[in-house]
Amino acid sequence: MIRADIKSKSFNGTPVLGRVAFEIAPGETLALVGPSGIGKSTLLRILAGIDADFEGSVERPDALAFVFQEPTLLPWRSVLKNLLLPHPDLTQDQARDMLVRVGLEGKEGLFPGQLSLGQQRRLSLARAFAQAPALLIMDEPFVSLDSETAEVMLRLTESLIADHRPATLFVTHDTREADRLADRTLTLRSHPGGAVID
C-alpha cells in the first residue's frame, strides 16, 4: 500500500500544497487532475522521493518508476544503455525483450536523438516497466504527442499496466485518458493554504 499524508509544501514561503492525503492499493491506478500550476508535478516529485522538503510523510516501495513529462533519456548513451544503466540487474536479453515489447526492436544501438518523440516516449515507458515497478508515477506521459501517436501510447501503457499491475498515479488534463486508465480520480483544487484534494 502506498500512503501519502502531506501536511504542507512551500516554495520560499509560498504555500503550494496544503493537506493532501491518499492511499493507492497495489494494482490500483489513480489519475491526478487539476488546473495547470496548482502543484500536481510537485506532488508527484514528493511521492517519488525527488523532493524531500515538505511536511508530512510518504510510504512508498523501493521498486519505483517514473515517466517524466519529457522522455528524460541520456542522449549520449545508446537505446540499450538507457535501459541497462537504471537497471543494472537487467540482462541484455531482458532489455532487448522489453524493447521488442514497446516496438523498438532493431533500435538498440541508436542514440535517443535518432528516435522520433513517440519512440523516445516508448523508450521512457520501457525503462519504467523494465523491472516490474511496485509504484509507477507518470507526469502527463502523452502530452505534446499527435492524437494518433497518443492513442498508440495510451494502448501500450494500458497493456503494460495490465501485465505488471503496479500501483499507478498519473497526471493528466485529458478526461479520456483518466477514464481509460484510472480506477479513480483525485482532483487538486486551489486553497489559500496550498492546493488540497477534493
Partner 1 sequence: MQAARLIPFLSLAGLLLLWVVAAILTDDAQILPTPWTLVPLFNQELVSGELLTHLGATIIRVIWAFALAMTLGTALGLVMGRSARVNSWLDPWLVIFLNLPALVLIVLCYLWIGLTEAAAIIAVTLNKVPNVAVVIREGARALDPDLDAMARVYRMSWLTRMRHVVFPQLAPFIAGAARSGVAVIWKIVLVVEFLGRSSGIGFQIHLYFQLFDVAMVLVYAFSFICVMLLVEWLILQPFERSTRRWRTA
Give the residues lining the site for partner 1 (CB under 8 A): 45, 48-50, 62, 64-66, 68, 70, 72, 74-77, 81, 85-88, 110-111, 113-114, 127
Rank residues 110 and 143 by Cβ distance to partner 1 and give the closer one: 110
Rank residues 68 and 196 by Cβ distance to partner 1 and give the closer one: 68
* Smallest distance from partner 1 to CB 45, Å: 7
* Smallest distance from partner 1 to CB 65, Å: 7
DSSP state of 195: B
- Residue 139: enclosing H or E segment and its boundaries? strand 135-139
Tell me the C-alpha distance between 179 and 115, whole Å.
30
Please state at what angle helix 117-129 crosses helix 147-164, rounded to 10 degrees.
10
Rank residues 55 and 70 by Cβ distance to partner 1 and give the closer one: 70
Grid cell for residue 151: 492513442
* Smallest distance from partner 1 to CB 174, Å: 22
Rank residues 13 and 88 by Cβ distance to partner 1 and give the closer one: 88
Sign of the four-CA dihedral 122, 124, 125, 127:
positive
Rank residues 70 and 183 by Cβ distance to partner 1 and give the closer one: 70
Please state at what angle helix 117-129 crosses helix 92-101, rounded to 10 degrees.
130
* Smallest distance from partner 1 to CB 44, Å: 10
* Rg, Å, the chain Cα set: 17
* Smallest distance from partner 1 to CB 117, Å: 15
Place of cell 505534446: 144
